[in-house]
Amino acid sequence: MKSAAALLSVVEEKAEPHPKHPGAFIIPDPSPLAQTILSGPWAQGRLTGLDTRIQVTVLRDGIRATQPSRHASGTGGLEPLHIFCLVELDSHASLQRLTKERKQPALRGVLEADRQARSLASTVLQRIGPQ
């Protein structure tokens, strides 16, 4: 398993640099929809909004900022920009750890509501009988 710093080095090595944001890299979305070439008066090439932007410089700064607290040698922490970059990174389909964590409580609530609705329906059916 590679460290976060090592994974950021792999991104720098293999991903395309972002044309407008120094220190950021782009992983193109491989889905067929993202590969659609737009045509007409508003054409701007392929749908780049589905790509994943990785702000390597900011994420490296986040690693540095949390180093003291992770090694119990002081305080440090993430700033809002670091969190934003982690959430942005989470948009890549192969990662989505944060997205899955946020969905779990909602899914449990839906499953519990479904269980209660089934129980109520069963009780009602038992009371009204086979008619």
For residue 40, pLDDT beyond 60: no
Average pLDDT, the chain: 77
User: Which of 12-16, 46-50, 76-80, 88-92 shows the lowest mean pLDDT across its residues?
Assistant: 46-50
pTM tops 0.75, yes or no: no
* pLDDT value, residue 107: 67
* pLDDT value, residue 89: 78
Rounded CA separation 73/19 (Å): 38
For residue 58, pLDDT beyond 90: yes
* pLDDT value, residue 102: 60
Rounded CA separation 105/88 (Å): 21
For residue 61, pLDDT beyond 90: yes
The CA-CA-CA angle for residues 61, 88, 110, to 5°, reads: 130
The continuous run of DSSP H or E covering 44 comes out as none
* pLDDT value, residue 56: 93
- How large is the C-alpha radius of gyration of the chain? 23
How is residue 94 written in tokens? 């192969």
Interval 74-115: pLDDT, tens: 777 888 888 888 888 777 666 656 555 666 666 677 777 878
